Structure 1
């Protein structure tokens, strides 16, 4: 059995999902499925710029098993362009976007590199350069927000017994580029139902709200929205205020929903369908052969980390 994800967006801000109606299936524009079998797109983040909606997402091919960051651009609800945004020798996903001091940044998950790296957009949407290591730990699904004069980061860490799915960690900094200090109470939350970040953190009615993934009974089963009532370098408390499931959103994709992100005007989501195929064994064999032959590496040079 394997995961098959689809990405969509709604022309409403993320705070809209706090309304009673929440996510409305009739409002969602779905990106087309991948042209090849055993490929999917997930972890959408996006921005409106120059009259176009640009959606960044993880593109994953089971034949290679290394995520890349691709993009799709929409003029209204019409797809006009697709392409590659960022490729590294290691797996990339969760292309969280940050606008700060007139610059656009991306903070993708690349925990196989062993660090958390911030990228700056040099040419929109397809040229991104690494500018700074924010953490010297393999942070997963790092999500940042500015609140009460500080920058806050929420993230997971890899480890045994599915640690990445059951612990929420926090760090804080005076500026986006750091220095970042881990929270005194890490992990601030520990359970499989509401710990791993799952989209854009935002401020609503004076409180930070954080989408988190529900990772039982399956990875990315649903999204729960936490309202963080205490957020200081020494204190943390949060309560769940909403739960979002994939039910009724897209036929054949009712097994998971694990991203809610926005850019103040649009909301981006993904949904999952669990699949079985007689070709699964062949795809796994192909991946192993490609790995043995060294064919699963990046398809273009990687820019060095800027000083």
Structure 2
């Protein structure tokens, strides 16, 4: 992001199931309901959701440029997609984002947010859904990961991700795969890793979906022109512990009707009858952004100064 350029993401709910959107290959004319604007220099992004007791629990990254560290919030919506409650549910000393939400075999709720700043990938279990979460001990993930996207398929778990420690290249053009018999691991890296290098269609951007024809479609991010410029559906035709084959479909871009949030899109996730999405507009207000950054640095300096 260049000097004075500030990405502001907003989260919406598309009134159509994700497989239907992927088959149509366009977001045009799909009705969308947007979450409320959190205010200047704040955004809500990386939405994932799950239905429970006739309510949609939407988890997302909540980010404030005044703090520059993400937390996980929950939005509770009724069947009419009205927000009935909103609260922060997971805060750590490190940045959190991309809160994939799952159900375990025993019915409990699991969350797998991006947590690479802690030095490892973490898995959380709800102790009081949706408000309280506890880290699951003993998980054997293959190191810290970016945008880890799990899928249970053919009797085992698969994990699509970009490695956190991708030093020699930007963290936007590499796809790795791992598999395990249990979500907690141990995870086995695919021998073909990286299975894909492509700035248009490698870094995950949402929930993998098993289609009726037996293929898997993984939303990936097209970052050729900007971070999170569009979603490229990646059709995975071969997925075994030793083989991988895939090809991209044309990218899904933010429609003009979403203006001003037409500068990018980097999450597409399934939630039953609706599909969750985020889209961005890029603010170019150098002076206002500089003011936010200066005040943040001043607060940090005061906090670190011995008294």
State if a TM-score over 0.5 links the two structures.
yes
CA contact (8 A) 2:25 2:250 kept: no
CA contact (8 A) 1:117 1:134 kept: no
Q: Does 1:13 align with 2:17?
A: yes
CA drift of 1:22 comes to 3.5
* Deviations, residues 122-161 of structure 1 (Å, cap 9, x unaligned): 2121111111434251101000001111110001123335
Matched residues in 1 for 2:53 and 2:302: separation? 43
Q: How does 1:226-241 map to 2 (within 5 A)?
A: 226-241=234-249
Contact 1:25 1:248 in 2 (8 A): no
Contact 1:13 1:262 in 2 (8 A): yes
The equivalences for 1:61-76 within 5 A come to: 61-75=64-78, 76=80
Deviation at 1:25, TM superposition (A): 4.7
Deviation of 1:162 (Å): 4.6
Matches within 5 A, 1:257-296: 257-277=265-285, 278-294=287-303
The runs of 5 or more residues in structure 1 that have no matched partner are 296-307
Measured against aligned partners, the alpha-carbon deviations of 1:176-196 in whole angstroms (never above 9, x if no partner) come to 121101111111101211110
Q: Aligned partners of 1:50 and 1:249: how far apart in 2?
A: 33
Mark the CA change 1:26 to 1:240 in structure 2 (over 3 Å): closer, same or farther.
closer
**Matching residue within 199, 203, 219 for 1:196:** 203
C-alpha offsets along residues 96-120 of structure 1, whole Å, 9 cap, x if unaligned?
1112211221100011011111111
Measured against aligned partners, the alpha-carbon deviations of 1:42-81 in whole angstroms (never above 9, x if no partner) come to 0000112222222111000011100000111122132211
Quick one: structure 1 residues 185 and 291, their matched pair in 2 at CA, closer, same or farther if it must change by over 3 Å? Answer: farther
5+ long unaligned stretches in structure 2:
none
Alignment-derived partner of residue 302 in structure 1 = none
Q: Distance in 2 between matches of 1:276 and 1:85?
A: 31
Aligned pairs for 1:162-181 within 5 A:
162-181=169-188
* Contact persistence 2:14–2:30 (CA under 8 A): no
Q: 1:266 to 1:87 in 2, by over 3 A?
A: same
SS at 1:252's partner residue? coil
TM-fit CA distance, 1:294:
4.0
CA deviation after TM superposition for structure 1 residue 174, in Å: 1.0
User: Per-residue CA shift, 1:240-267, capped at 9, x if unaligned?
Assistant: 1342001224120110011000133321
Q: Is 1:144 the equivalent of 2:147?
A: no
Residue 90 of structure 2 aligns with which residue? 86
Q: Could you tell me which residue of structure 1 aligns to residue 54 of structure 2?
A: 51
Of 155, 159, 170, 1:153 maps to 159
Alignment of 1:243 onto 2:251:
yes
After TM superposition, the score normalised by the length of structure 2 is: 0.91
Q: Does 1:106 align with 2:111?
A: yes
SS at match of 2:297: helix
RMSD: 1.6
1:112-131 equivalent positions in 2, closer than 5 A: 112-131=117-136
CA change 1:25–1:42 in 2 (3 A) is farther
SS at match of 2:290: helix
